[in-house]
Amino acid sequence: MGAYVRFVARRRLAAADIDEVLAFFGCPPARARLSSVDVGTRRLVEVAANVAARPRLLILDEPAAGLSHEEHLALAARLRELPGRYGVALVIIEHDLDLVRSVCPTLTVLDFGRVLASGPQAEVLANPDVVKAYMGETELLK
């Protein structure tokens, strides 16, 4: 895994730096073979490797896809820490509202490419257009 992290990061990394980022994401040690881990762990290694590149902005497209419930919760906790710990801003493209609620203080909701709402999480999730798009419209009985 260490070679993969170095390749994705596209910069020189000390072994300690690789070990630290892998451990932070709950991944096996750098000496483990990437081919020996499950799909969910590979997703975590991908995120860890991209964080090791030290970008100012990290865009994650459905980062929890393929993760177990426990891995999903652990990833959310780690994503919340990324800005403070690694100085990276996050843009997360995600349909899983549980992950979004637990990680993102500010949201922009799109519906077929059109912005429905953007702003603080509570405000956006309470927006009637967002509720309608994600929950459907309920017809009232007359």
pLDDT, tens digit (0-9, with 9 covering 90-100), for 42-70: 888 899 999 999 999 999 999 888 788 88
**Band of pLDDT at residue 142, cut at 50, 70 and 90:** very low
Give the pLDDT of residue 137: 60
Residues 109, 44 share a domain = no
Mean pLDDT of 71-86: 89
- pTM score of the predicted model: 0.79
Which residue range(s) make up the domain with 47? Answer: 2-104
Whether residues 81 and 141 share a domain: the answer is no
Contact 57, 27 (CB under 8 A): no
Claim to verify: residue 100 and residue 117 sit in the same structural domain: no
Co-location of 116 and 92 in the same domain: no
Tens digit of each residue's pLDDT (9 = 90 or more) over 102-140: 899 999 998 888 999 999 999 998 999 888 887 776 533
Q: How many domains does the chain have?
A: 2
In this structure, are 93 and 115 located in the same domain? no
Do 46 and 116 lie in one domain? The reply is no
Q: Three-state SS for 138?
A: coil
Residues 124 and 66 both lie in one domain? no
